[in-house]
Homo-oligomer: A and B are copies of this chain.
Amino acid sequence: MHIQVDRKDFLEGIQIVQRAAASSTNLPILTGIYLAAKEGQLELRATDNDIGIEYFLPVQIREEGEIVLPARYLVEIARRFKPGEIKLQVAQDTYTALLESGRSSFELLGFSPDNYPERVTLGQGKAWQVEQSLLRDMIRQTAFAASHDNMRPILTGVLMNFTGDKLELVATDSHRLAFYRTVLPRTGGEEASMVVPRRTMEELARIIQGGEEEPVTIQMTGGQVCFSTERVRLISRLIEGKFIDYRQVLPKEYKTRVRLETGEFLAAVERAAILTQDRANSLRIEVGDGLIRLFANTPEVGKVEEEIQAEVTGEDTSISFNSRYLIEALRTVEEAEIFFDITGSVSPGIIRPVGEEKDYLHLIMPVTTRAVP
């Protein structure tokens, strides 16, 4: 293998695939990046056997070949090289790579490509296309609500539900739930439901950070999903099991509706949260008289009261929520105004944007009994 590649392009590629490389493992080869130069392209791959990322970039090839190089060193070296061309030559018999740029020259010991996992090829399956920026936004607004508790693996994933011309994303840790629905104009109408690991969704959101307007193709076969653009493919296992019936938890009506400026409400909750330090981060909310009031207290430290003028519809009410859940939900909201609906003393509060543009909501269960620390 003997290629010449622009440092910036190369670095972008290896930094993207590196995210899938194992950081430490019984199989050292999985801490590496597989590189193959063939037919005018450099193929980069990494996998930790949970997810895999592939990246393709055009390069000048003098001699085709393949090698596996340690991801951490490869990224660090490319990152520190000056802008310009990098020459990469591999001694195929010793699995040693020579990386040169300007007057810097690195000899890096690699692994035999023969021992690296084969490229995953997905069989015929269902496929959809979603705009990159839309998908990124949907992930940002939902994935944070997935559970970190591996006792219920199904809740550590994000549900992707394709029904008719719609795509719904749902994540919940059973105390709060995030829901985002969108219309997919160019879908073929294939229906499917899959639960994608939270980490896969977060890596996907990172990969599609670039402003490219080409859509993401989503393919599902068996227990796997593949997200791909022209340059990148992200392959992940799916989580098996049945996701909760989220439609049943979405309340149909409200008892009290408060219309609020998102930023003002978030700032007030963040301030009050300084003094919500019990296990449930309890923040008491009172609505009435065209006002929403927040109360919190921490024994031995002090107490806080916040007041915001708001447009209130429906009954006066008093209820407690976990301040952290409110903050995490409100931080994802980009719209200037929200509706905050209270549906009952033991049923969820709902945050949704004012306006028709986006169809999403955040559901938060109230704190019914004060947790004993």
**A183 touches B (CB below 8 Å):** no
Report A95-134 residues with CB < 8 Å from chain B CB: 96, 103-109
A76 to B272, CA, bound (A): 11
Report A288-341 residues with CB < 8 Å from chain B CB: 300-308
**A270 touches B (CB below 8 Å):** yes
Given A103-B308, A308-B103, answer yes or no on A271-B303 (Cβ-Cβ < 8 Å): no
**A77 touches B (CB below 8 Å):** yes
Q: Are B105 and A304 in contact (CB under 8 A)?
A: yes
A182 to B: closest C-beta gap in Å: 34
A291 to B: closest C-beta gap in Å: 9
Given A80-B267, A267-B82, A274-B73, answer yes or no on A106-B302 (Cβ-Cβ < 8 Å): yes
Residues of B within 8 A of A267 (CB): 80, 82
Residues of B within 8 A of A55 (CB): none
Q: Are B107 and A73 in contact (CB under 8 A)?
A: no
Q: Are A108 and B302 in contact (CB under 8 A)?
A: yes
How often does this chain occur in the complex, in copies? 2
CB within 8 A of A107: which of B82, B268, B300, B304? B304
**A70 touches B (CB below 8 Å):** yes
**A81 touches B (CB below 8 Å):** yes
Given A70-B301, A109-B301, answer yes or no on A77-B274 (Cβ-Cβ < 8 Å): yes
Contact with B along A264-297 (1 / 0, CB 8 A): 0001101100110000000000000000000000
Q: Are A73 and B104 in contact (CB under 8 A)?
A: no
- Range for the number of chain A residues in contact with chain B: 20 to 34
Q: Are B106 and A303 in contact (CB under 8 A)?
A: yes
Q: Are B301 and A104 in contact (CB under 8 A)?
A: no
A108 to B77, CA, bound (A): 52
Residues of B within 8 A of A300 (CB): 109
Most buried by B among A96, A305, A308: A305
Q: Are A271 and B80 in contact (CB under 8 A)?
A: yes
Given A108-B301, A301-B70, A302-B73, answer yes or no on A271-B81 (Cβ-Cβ < 8 Å): yes
CB within 8 A of A104: which of B77, B108, B271? B271
Residues of B within 8 A of A274 (CB): 73, 76-77, 80, 106
A105 to B104, CA, bound (A): 61
Contact with B along A190-205 (1 / 0, CB 8 A): 0000000000000000
CB within 8 A of A307: which of B103, B107, B271, B275? B103
A301 to B108, CA, bound (A): 6
Residues of B within 8 A of A70 (CB): 301
Question: What are 11 A-B contacts defined by CB distance under 8 Å?
Answer: A73-B301, A77-B274, A80-B270, A81-B271, A82-B267, A105-B305, A106-B302, A106-B303, A106-B304, A107-B302, A107-B303
7 closest A-B pairs by beta carbon, nearest first, are A108-B302, A103-B307, A80-B271, A107-B302, A106-B304, A105-B305, A107-B303
